[in-house]
């Protein structure tokens, strides 16, 4: 089996995690990065391709007739034309739920940074304020306890549920807006989107990017939030209208935002959120702790192995086996 990996640098930098479990399964060619206009050329006559964000389009399948397997270094698969994969009899396999703990952890890192003012106070110390202060402490930047606050979670899959568990440990009241309210149980209180926006002190996104969720956070929904509310997005950038969020931050409609994903990545120079008030932006790293990437690569290898054996797992399309 000929195998091509298109963008290994999205999961391994400097060999900090090994791809050997994958490359040992075939005659492998590994590329660190592949521009989209070179994808078909790099795949060539390979039987299988593994990638993270490279676009696998109808044109790629047409130009690569041997391609019968698309493995993803990710849970999301919106970079693959599934209809084209079905047409050409190619299986598309993702890795579900591998980053639950890391994304939930990063969500609260952003929340705690905001309410405990970690970066703001660290900056004052770096600037010499503590060295020059007469008392053992200073607290002129207000901080807040999470206990008693309302945590609003949009989307209640594996990550949303874990965020709810952590929120409850902090003593937060947890509400959720989800397409499957019957599955929430005692983990949270299922409410309408309007109620969630109105009552939440923190609104955090944990839903996939679909036609229904695209830009669901916009000027209208932001206007329904508390002026003291904090907004977090570790899901997909496209669930937010970035210009509307920037306007809301700059005009004091909400108090702040923590963002790990953008509509266009890497960040464009003219991104509306760049330089907005009271925002913390991290470069799509919530999923990326070393242990998480090791877990990811184990499943990617197992997905490929199972497909080779005729017993594919984590298939997201309806290809003709």
> Does residue 155 have a pLDDT over 70?
yes
In a domain, 313, yes or no: no
Same domain, 202 and 63: no
pTM here? Answer: 0.93
pLDDT tens per residue, range 187-218: 999 999 999 999 999 999 999 999 999 999 99
pLDDT band at 237 (very low <50, low <70, confident <90, very high): very high
> Is the same domain home to 245 and 122?
yes
Mean pLDDT of 132-140: 96
Same-domain check for residues 220 and 272: yes
Mean pLDDT of 10-39: 97
Based on the fold, state whether residues 85 and 25 are members of the same structural domain. yes
Sheet holding 91-93, edge to edge: 27-30, 2-5, 48-51, 69-72, 91-93
Domain membership of residue 318 (yes or no) is: no
Full domain range(s) for residue 253 = 100-281
Instruction: Please tell me whether residues 11 and 142 are part of one structural domain.
Output: no
Specify if 48 maps to a domain.
yes
Confidence category of residue 321, pLDDT binned at 50, 70, 90: low
DSSP H/E element including 93: strand 91-93
Q: Which residues are catalytic?
A: 236, 265, 284
Query: How sure is the predictor about 16, in pLDDT bands with cuts at 50, 70 and 90?
Result: very high
Share of the chain above pLDDT 90, in %: 97
Residues 304, 216 share a domain:
no
**Domains: count for the chain:** 2
| Cα–Cα distance measured from residue 34 to residue 44, given in angstroms and rounded to the nearest whole number | 13
What's residue 281's pLDDT? Answer: 98
203 shares a domain with 144: yes
User: pLDDT tens digit string along 60-86?
Assistant: 999 999 999 999 999 989 899 999 999
What is the pLDDT at residue 78? 87
φ/ψ (deg, to 5) at 87:
-60, -40
pLDDT over 90 (residue 320): no
Same domain, 91 and 106: no
Q: In degrees rounded to 5, what are phi and psi of residue 254?
A: -130, 165
What is the arithmetic mean of pLDDT over 156-160?
A: 97
pLDDT digits (tens, 9 = 90+) for 247-274: 999 999 999 999 999 999 999 999 999 9
Report how far residue 289's alpha carbon sits from residue 146's, in angstroms, rounded to the nearest whole number: 25
Q: Is residue 315 part of a domain?
A: no
Assess if residue 320 is contained within a domain.
no
Q: Which CATH number belongs to the domain containing residue 191 in this structure?
A: 3.40.50.720
pLDDT tens digits for range 42-51: 999 999 999 9
Instruction: Indicate whether 42 and 133 sit together in one domain.
Output: no
Are 93 and 227 part of one and the same domain?
no
């Amino acid at each position: 089996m000929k195998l091509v990996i298109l963008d290994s640098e999205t999961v391994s930098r400097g060999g900090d995690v090994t791809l050997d479990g994958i490359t040992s399964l075939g005659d492998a060619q590994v590329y660190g990065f592949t521009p989209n206009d070179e994808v078909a050329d790099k795949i060539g006559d390979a039987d299988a391709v593994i990638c993270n964000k490279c676009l696998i389009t109808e044109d790629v399948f047409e130009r690569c007739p041997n391609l019968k397997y698309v493995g993803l270094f990710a849970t999301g698969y919106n970079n693959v034309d599934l209809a084209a994969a079905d047409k050409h009899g190619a299986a598309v396999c993702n890795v579900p739920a591998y980053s639950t703990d890391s994304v939930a952890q990063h969500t609260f890192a952003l929340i705690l940074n905001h309410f405990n003012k970690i970066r703001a106070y660290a900056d004052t110390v770096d600037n010499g304020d503590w060295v020059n202060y007469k008392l053992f402490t200073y607290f002129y930047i207000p901080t807040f306890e999470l206990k008693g606050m309302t945590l609003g979670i949009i989307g209640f899959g594996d990550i949303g549920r874990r965020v709810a568990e952590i929120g409850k440990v902090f003593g937060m009241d947890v509400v959720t807006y989800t397409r499957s309210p019957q599955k929430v149980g005692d983990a949270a209180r299922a409410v309408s989107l309007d109620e969630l926006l109105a009552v939440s002190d923190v609104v955090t996104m944990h839903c996939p990017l679909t036609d229904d969720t695209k830009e669901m956070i916009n000027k209208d929904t932001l206007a329904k939030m508390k002026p003291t509310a904090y907004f977090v997005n570790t899901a997909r950038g496209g669930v937010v209208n970035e210009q509307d969020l920037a306007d809301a931050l700059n005009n004091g409609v909400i108090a702040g935002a923590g963002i790990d994903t953008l509509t266009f990545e890497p960040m464009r120079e003219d991104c509306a959120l760049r330089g907005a008030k009271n925002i913390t932006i991290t470069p799509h790293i919530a999923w990326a702790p070393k242990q998480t990437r090791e877990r990811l690569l184990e499943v990617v290898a197992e997905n490929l192995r199972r497909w080779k054996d005729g017993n594919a797992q984590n298939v997201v399309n309806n290809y003709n086996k």
